[in-house]
């Protein structure tokens, strides 16, 4: 459930069967988040929010609702671009170098550009749409190499190097960007 509040913007309300009372926190997106017992109605959640405004202002580092909307809009645009580009680029590079993966997933992690799971799912961060194409390709090739080496061993880096001769430079340059918004 979500509550639109004039002061706090969109408030995320999570019903929790283990919760005995209402707790406030800040979500990773900077929004106010409420954890409430399962039986709590939206009316009660709004009433509790209104009666605790001063405590929320004093104790929680909330972002401006306008900043939240701008960030949401930027994320929406990046997701659209990523959907149109990343799965197809992954498929192209996988076929070019003889890799087989089961699934491509797009994410928006704040700390990772990509990952490869043991069930052969490659996750790519939509933030890759903000970096130059050669750095995107480096991340994709890095994750594809994890299909054969689920570590960062010497063999893993040798495989990355076979497909990207400048991988060390690309890795250094990528550190100048942030995967988060």
Strand pairing category for 32-37 and 23-26: antiparallel
* Contact (CB, 8 A) for 52 and 66: no
Give how far Cα 109 sits from Cα of 20, 37, 105, 166, Å. Answer: 30, 28, 12, 25
pLDDT over 70 for what percent of the chain?
A: 97
Question: For the chain, what is the mean pLDDT?
Answer: 91
Cα(133)–Cα(126) distance, integer angstroms: 13
Give how far Cα 157 sits from Cα of 54, 134, 144, Å. Answer: 53, 17, 12
Q: Flag whether pLDDT at 130 surpasses 80.
A: yes
Q: How much is the pTM?
A: 0.71
Higher pLDDT, 80 or 2: 80
């Amino acid at each position: 459930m979500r509550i639109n509040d004039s002061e706090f913007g969109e408030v995320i309300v999570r019903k929790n069967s283990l919760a005995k009372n209402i707790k406030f926190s800040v979500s990773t997106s900077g929004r106010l988040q409420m954890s409430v017992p399962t039986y709590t109605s939206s009316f009660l959640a709004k009433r509790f929010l209104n009666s605790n405004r001063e405590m929320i202002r004093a104790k929680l580092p909330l972002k401006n609702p306008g900043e939240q909307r701008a960030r949401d809009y930027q994320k929406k645009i990046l997701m659209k671009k990523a959907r149109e580009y990343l799965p197809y680029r992954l498929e192209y590079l996988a076929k070019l170098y003889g890799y087989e993966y089961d699934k491509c997933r797009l994410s928006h992690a704040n700390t990772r550009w990509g990952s490869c799971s043991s069930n052969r799912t490659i996750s790519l961060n939509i933030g890759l749409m903000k970096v130059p194409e050669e750095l995107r390709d480096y991340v994709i090739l890095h994750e594809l190499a994890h299909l054969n080496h689920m570590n960062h061993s010497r063999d893993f880096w040798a495989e990355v190097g076979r497909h990207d001769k400048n991988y060390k430079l690309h890795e250094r340059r990528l550190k100048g960007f942030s995967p988060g918004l």
